[in-house]
Amino acid sequence: MAVLKIGIVEDELVIARTILHTLEELGYASCGPAINYTEALDLLEQDKPDLLLLDIQLAGRKDGIDVAQKLNEMHPIPFIFLTANSDPETIDRAKIVKPHAYIVKPFTKEELFAAIEIAFSNFTGNQTDVKPAPAAANPAKSFVFVKEGYVFRKVYFNDLLFLESDANYVTLHLKSHKKIMVRSTIQDFVEQLDPSLFIRIHRSYSVNLSLIEEVFPTEIAVQGVKIPIGKSYRGELYKALGLENDH
């Protein structure tokens, strides 16, 4: 797999060099730094990063929030705001362009790594195609981070009953009866999960195989909740459960 390429938009070159060095230590590729709006757009066009670290305060009239707005219009990749400003006015402006994470300077290597991993994992795009270069083989992932408001929350697969899709949103139904709504298509979100645990049983539903309690001709039951089985998904479901499909 290719190494995740991180673009840097930062007008303080001492900080930019520190970020470049940190990214190298973490095993990411990098490009930049760009120091203003125009250079940032050139970086996006020429280097095509997979994720952007974006300072809000930039040299020139247009700032990082202007870059983010253009990014949302033209380059659908995740971006993380890096800023020394955590005042309500700046945060309110930042919220409008929906950053995938927000880091207040100064930050540690661990904080940067966590923000990049979470932002990229939760971005509905090419997250299954590009990964950071691992130092060693990682064990199978047993959880996913989901964005709830402006908090990234860890959800363990064995706590996730089923997914319910509604256009570009997916509702996660948990064992605790809690529900979390995520902006994503069900197909994109399912790709972040363990394929041996979760299976689509309907165009609007994916369920945790290990938590299915009963199987009826047209529906299944998970923790007492009845979920319909789509005709085109029934064969695959029965096969995964080791059942004979007589319908």
Residue ranges of the domains in the chain?
2-131, 155-241
The predicted model gives 184-190 an average pLDDT of 85
Tokens of 228: 């319909």
Which pLDDT score, from 0 to 100, does residue 114 have?
Answer: 87
Q: To 5 degrees, how large is the angle CA 33–CA 37–CA 43?
A: 45
20 versus 145: the higher-pLDDT residue is 20
2-131: what fold? Answer: Rossmann fold (3.40.50)
Binned at pLDDT 50, 70 and 90, residue 132 comes out as: very low
Give a three-class secondary structure readout of the chain: CEECEEEEECCCHHHHHHHHHHHHHHCCEEEEEECEHHHHHHHHHHHCCCEEEEECCCECCCCHHHHHHHHHHHCCCCEEEEECCCCHHHHHHHHHCCCCEEEECCCCHHHHHHHHHHHHHHCCCCCCCEECCCCCCCCCCCEEEEEECCEEEEEEHHHEEEEEEECCEEEEEECCCCEEEEECCHHHHHCCCCCCCEEEEECCEEEEHHHEEEECCCEEEECCEEEECCHHHHHHHHHHHCCCCCC
**Mean of the per-residue pLDDT values of the chain:** 85
pLDDT tens profile 108-118: 888 898 888 88
Structure-token match 């083989």, residue found:
137
pLDDT tens profile 86-105: 678 878 888 899 998 888 88
Architecture of the 155-241 domain: Beta Barrel (2.40)
